């Protein structure tokens, strides 16, 4: 390993449904917080087409600086269905990337891709230039037919003759003039063994040619990968259709002019026989001044060779004097200045500032719901168990307390994992719903068996008590704490969280003092009060709680109907500048008109 960074651990992993047919696998790793110096985001495009991507591809990125999004295209890697080629074109992939960006709430990201990933990165940038902060490309492939033929048909076999002969050996001699077409037939052959053999031969040939210094173990491991059929069938599909655009499309003036303002860093092995260096040079000439290329003198095609990996890891940390970083720092500074002028961090700011009042309300709602449900649980625990079920012996009480303690410990361990997997709003909503349904079951059992309580009924009540306690700690209290901390602005978080707890706790204490007495007087019918409290909390959560998971500061602002105050400030400055320019132009026009009239008057005088 020649990168200073180890593969990251994902803080978020899952699937996104991009069409009726496809679900794409995506992961997020690195720093999820989006602090000022960490607001740059990176999206990684894998090779292939069809190779898939995973956390092994995160070694180029500083996990303290970047939030890294890695995903596999349609049919590739862990995306589903595997190896599917229907509705699988470059245009589909570009729109999938946009759906991922929108899902994650990212305004702009740094795009990284190698080999086919460089192709897809360029096409995406040309389709959505406003969403791309920069391009970092490796092993440039522009998807022209001549490039594809270079590797599979015409040129690479001059450097790796034995490997190409082995590659071509399973194809009949009369079909070798179009070897990709011939392989595509074998990859769709009815006999599974033939399909797998073709996929293995294809993959071993590719892997044998990727490195400057051949690594037989590397090729052998690639040939034994269980996903190679899916990868090769997608590759053949794209190559046969010329990646679904005409030769020269990417670097045509109509396309490349859309992205010439975007910084583009390229890295290419000097001895890359898969994506030859002249392709990268062709892109550099078309791209212009904003592009820079670094040639690796001791590397072929793969990103995992020492020189290539070292260079890619080096340029992940963009220099601090880079124009994009300078612009970002200026925006952060302007936001801080705006915040100092417009946002008070004192305790009374939650009363005097409209945007903080709105946040406080949305924080107050789930905290109140948690308190209401907590009171219901404590009342059940204190009254229902000991009075109604008759668990008055020390042995019975100890047994129940042990069950609840175990439930609490397991719930606490699972809470962080579940909240990152499902999202804040989903956890809080599910937690409140489960508690309400559990209380409904307890209420029904208690009222129905009030005069004839059996051990079976008691057992069901105890089960539901343990179950909803587990749900309360795992799905409700932990996610609520995370939610409250995320949506409160950092400068006012301490006061905000404290104030959000004061009122719900006060309400909880007031209600909690009365409920045991009401339960003693009303008997089992009092459980309906607890059920109503929990149902009311669920309704509040369903209406008011929003989902901040994985969103940028700007998107969290947007959730609450706010906007980017820095942009607003800039718009005001620009509007003032335009107004000032118009006034100057107006004065100049008036002066010009006055001068013309004066000349006309002089002309009349001379004529007279």
In tens, the pLDDT along 143-190 reads 999 999 999 999 999 999 999 999 999 999 999 999 999 999 999 999
Transcribe 29-48 into DSSP letters.
EE--S--GGG--EEEEE-ST
- Residue-wise burial string across 501-516, b where 16 or more C-beta atoms lie within 10 A, e elsewhere: beebeeebeebbeebe
260 or 428, which is more confident? Answer: 260
Q: What is the pLDDT of residue 120?
A: 94
For a pLDDT cut of 90, what percent of the chain falls above it? 33
77 or 379, which is more confident? Answer: 77
Pairing of strands 109-115, 41-45: parallel
Mean pLDDT, the chain, whole residue set = 77
- Kindly indicate the confidence band of residue 566, based on its pLDDT and cuts at 50, 70 and 90: very low
- Kindly indicate the confidence band of residue 595, based on its pLDDT and cuts at 50, 70 and 90: low
Q: Is the entire prediction scored with pTM above 0.75? A: no
Q: 552-555 long-range CB contacts below 8 Å, 24 or more apart?
A: 552/34, 552/39, 552/105, 552/106, 552/107, 553/34, 554/107, 555/105, 555/107
Q: Does position 294 have pLDDT exceeding 80, yes or no?
A: yes
Q: What is the pLDDT of residue 9?
A: 82
What distance in Å separates the CA atoms of residue 334 and residue 542, rounded to the nearest whole number?
Answer: 36
Q: Does position 41 have pLDDT exceeding 50, yes or no?
A: no
Q: Does position 604 have pLDDT exceeding 60, yes or no?
A: no
With beta carbons less than 8 A apart as the criterion, state whether 315 and 136 touch: yes
Tens digit of each residue's pLDDT (9 = 90 or more) over 486-545 = 777 666 666 777 777 776 777 766 666 666 555 556 556 667 777 787 788 788 878 877
With beta carbons less than 8 A apart as the criterion, state whether 86 and 21 touch: yes
- Kindly indicate the confidence band of residue 211, based on its pLDDT and cuts at 50, 70 and 90: very high
Give SS3 for 274.
Answer: coil
Q: Which residues are catalytic?
A: 115, 272, 301
Q: What is the mean pLDDT of residues 62-78?
A: 86
Tens digit of each residue's pLDDT (9 = 90 or more) over 306-340 = 899 888 877 655 554 556 555 655 555 565 555 55
Q: What is the pLDDT of residue 280?
A: 96
- Residue-wise burial string across 200-238, b where 16 or more C-beta atoms lie within 10 A, e elsewhere: bbbbbbbbbbbbbeebeeebeebbebebbbbbbbbbbbb
Tens digit of each residue's pLDDT (9 = 90 or more) over 96-105 = 999 998 888 8
What distance in Å separates the CA atoms of residue 535 and residue 373, rounded to the nearest whole number?
Answer: 9
Q: Does position 377 have pLDDT exceeding 70, yes or no?
A: no
Tens digit of each residue's pLDDT (9 = 90 or more) over 574-589 = 555 556 556 656 666 6
């Amino acid at each position: 390993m020649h990168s200073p960074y180890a593969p990251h651990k994902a803080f978020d992993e899952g699937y996104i449904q991009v069409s009726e047919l496809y679900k794409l696998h995506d992961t997020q790793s690195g720093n999820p917080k989006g602090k000022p110096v960490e607001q740059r985001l990176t999206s990684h495009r894998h090779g292939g087409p069809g190779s898939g991507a995973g956390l092994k591809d995160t070694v180029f990125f500083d996990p303290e600086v970047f939030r890294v999004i890695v995903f596999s295209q349609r049919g590739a890697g862990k995306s589903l269905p595997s190896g599917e080629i229907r509705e699988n074109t470059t245009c589909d992939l570009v729109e999938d990337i946009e759906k991922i960006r929108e899902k994650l709430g990212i305004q702009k990201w740094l795009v990284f891709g190698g080999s086919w990933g460089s192709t897809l990165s360029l096409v995406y940038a040309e389709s959505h230039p406003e969403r791309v902060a920069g391009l970092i490309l490796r092993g440039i492939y522009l998807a022209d037919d001549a490039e594809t033929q270079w590797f599979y048909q015409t040129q690479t076999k001059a450097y790796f003759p034995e490997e190409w002969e082995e590659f071509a050996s399973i194809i009949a001699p009369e079909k070798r003039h179009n070897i990709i077409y011939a392989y595509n037939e074998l990859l769709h052959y009815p006999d599974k063994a033939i399909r797998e053999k073709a996929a293995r031969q294809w993959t071993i040939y590719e892997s044998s040619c990727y490195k400057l210094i051949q690594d037989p173990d590397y090729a052998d491991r690639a040939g034994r990968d269980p996903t190679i059929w899916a990868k090769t069938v997608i590759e053949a599909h794209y190559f046969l259709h010329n990646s679904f655009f005409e030769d020269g499309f990417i670097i045509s003036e109509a396309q490349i002019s859309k992205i010439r303002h975007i910084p583009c860093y390229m890295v290419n092995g000097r001895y890359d026989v898969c994506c030859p260096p002249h392709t990268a040079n062709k892109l550099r000439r078309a791209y212009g001044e904003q592009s820079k290329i670094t040639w690796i003198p001791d590397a072929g095609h793969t990103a995992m060779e020492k020189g290539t990996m070292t260079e890619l890891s080096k340029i992940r940390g963009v220099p601090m004097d880079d124009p994009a970083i300078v612009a970002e720092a200026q925006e952060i500074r302007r936001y801080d200045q705006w915040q100092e002028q417009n946002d008070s961090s004192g305790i009374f700011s939650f009363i005097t500032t409209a945007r903080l009042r709105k946040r406080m309300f949305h924080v107050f709602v789930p905290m109140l719901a948690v308190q209401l449900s907590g009171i219901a649980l404590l009342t059940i625990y204190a009254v229902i168990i000991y009075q109604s079920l008759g668990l008055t012996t020390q042995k019975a009480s100890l047994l129940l307390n042990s069950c609840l303690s175990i439930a609490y410990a397991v719930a606490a361990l699972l809470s962080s994992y579940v909240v990152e997997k499902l999202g804040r709003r989903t956890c809080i909503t599910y937690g409140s719903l489960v508690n309400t349904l559990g209380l409904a079951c307890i209420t029904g059992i208690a009222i129905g068996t009030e005069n004839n309580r059996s051990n079976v009924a008691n057992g069901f009540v105890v089960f539901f008590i343990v179950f909803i306690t587990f749900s309360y700690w795992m799905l409700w209290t932990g996610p609520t704490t995370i939610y409250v901390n995320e949506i409160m602005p950092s400068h006012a978080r301490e006061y905000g969280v404290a104030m959000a707890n004061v009122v719900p706790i006060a309400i909880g204490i007031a209600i909690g003092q009365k409920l045991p007495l009401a339960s003693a007087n009303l008997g089992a019918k009092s459980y309906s009060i607890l059920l109503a409290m929990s149902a009311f909390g669920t309704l509040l959560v369903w209406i008011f709680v929003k989902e901040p998971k994985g969103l940028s500061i700007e998107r969290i602002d947007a959730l609450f109907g706010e906007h980017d105050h820095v942009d607003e400030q800039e718009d005001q400055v620009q509007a003032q500048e335009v107004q000032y320019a118009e006034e100057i132009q107006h004065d100049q026009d008036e002066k010009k008109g006055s001068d013309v009239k004066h000349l006309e008057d002089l002309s009349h005088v001379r004529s007279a």
